[in-house]
Every structure is written in structure tokens, then in C-alpha cells.
Structure 1
């Protein structure tokens, strides 16, 4: 499991409106494409340098493909990254603050100590 890779996915998708739409419409395809093409690029490195070892676990892939923010949080994804990305994808389908409240309700069963979100 790589909390770094989960957070990197959420961060990079959220920063590009076209990728947000792609992920909203075709989560499985976007996750597969991103893992193959971008997962091993060095974040914020413009020299073409790449690593070779990063990949999602089956559990991470499933949570990303299903837009399962509760499972992602349990896997160590930072809640602010999932919240901002998922607001960009799903807030338009709901009234004012409805999505944010539903997001919080879905996590309310969790109690301290929360999963470690440090990378």
C-alpha cells in the first residue's frame, strides 16, 4: 500500500479540470491510464525522470474506481484531497453543501484514532 501514490493520484487529478471530468465519467479507465502513464513520474519534475516501482494495490484500485472516499480514507488518503476532488466531481449533482454534508456523514462512524494520513 502506498499512501503517497493514492495522494499523488488525488492531487494530480484534482489539479486538471479535464482529468476531473475524465475521472468522473470513466473512473476505471482513468485509474488504469494514470497508473500506467503518470504513477511513476516524479512529482513536479520536468526532466522526464521516472521511478519504476510504484503501483496501486487491488484494494486501492477498487476504491479509486468506485469513488469510495470512505475506503480511501481508511487506506490513508488525505481527506482534504478526496474532499476537494469529489466536490469538483459531484457537487454539481446536489444542492448547496449537500455533497459536503453527505461526505461527512459517510465518515461519521469513524472515531479516533483515525487512520494515519501522513505520507
Structure 2
């Protein structure tokens, strides 16, 4: 499991409005494309600087494909990254603050100690 890679996915998708829409409409295709094309590029570096070892495991892929923010949190994804991306994708389908409240309600069964979200 790579908390870094999950957070990198959430961070990079959230900062590109076209990727936000792509991930909303086609999560499976977006996760597959991102893992193949973007996962091994170094953040904030030129495209020629790449690594070769980063990949999602099956549980991470499933959580990303299903937009499962609870599972992502339990895997160690930073909650601010999932919240900001998922607000961008889903808030428009709800009234004011409805999505944020539903996001929190879905995670209320999780008790301390929370998963480690340190990077």
C-alpha cells in the first residue's frame, strides 16, 4: 500500500478541472490511465524524470474506482484531499453543505486511533 500514491492521485486530479470531470464520469478509466501514465512521474518535475516502482494495490484501485472516501481514509489517504476532490465532483448534486455532511456521516463509525495520515 502506498499512501503517497493515493494522495498524489487525489492531489493531481483535484488540481485539473478536466481530470475532475473525467474521474467523475469514468473513474475506472481514469484510475487505469493515471496509474499507467502519471503514477511514476515525479511530482512537480519534468515528464522525463520518472520512477518505475509505484503502483496501486487491488484494494486501492477498488476504492478509487468506486469513489469510496471511507475506504480511502482507512487506507491512509489524507481526508482533506478526498474531501476537496469529492466536493469538486459531487457537491453540485446536493444542496448547500449536504455533501459535506454526508461525507462526515459516512465516516462517523470510525473511532480513534485514526489511520496514520502522515506523509
TM range (shorter): over 0.9
RMSD value over aligned CA atoms?
A: 0.6
Aligned to 2:41: 41
Superposition deviation, residue 46 in structure 1: 1.9
Instruction: Give the match for residue 113 of structure 1.
Output: 113
In 1, Cα distance between equivalents of 2:66 and 2:112? 25
Aligned length, in residue pairs: 119
> Aligned-pair distance for 1:47?
5.5
Corresponding residue of 1:28: 28
Task: Tell me what 1:69 maps to.
Answer: 69
Could you list the per-position Cα deviations for residues 53-111 of structure 1 after superposition, in whole angstroms to 9, with x for gaps in the alignment?
00000000000000000000000000000000000000000000000000000011111
- SS state of the match for residue 82, structure 2? helix
Distance in 2 (CA, whole Å) between partners of 1:29 and 1:107 is 26
Give structure 2 stretches of 5+ with no counterpart. none
* TM-score where L is the length of structure 1: 0.99
Assess if the C-alpha contact under 8 Å between 2:70 and 2:106 holds in 1: yes
Tell whether 2:92 aligns with 1:97.
Answer: no
Runs of 4+ in 1 over 6 A off after TM superposition: none
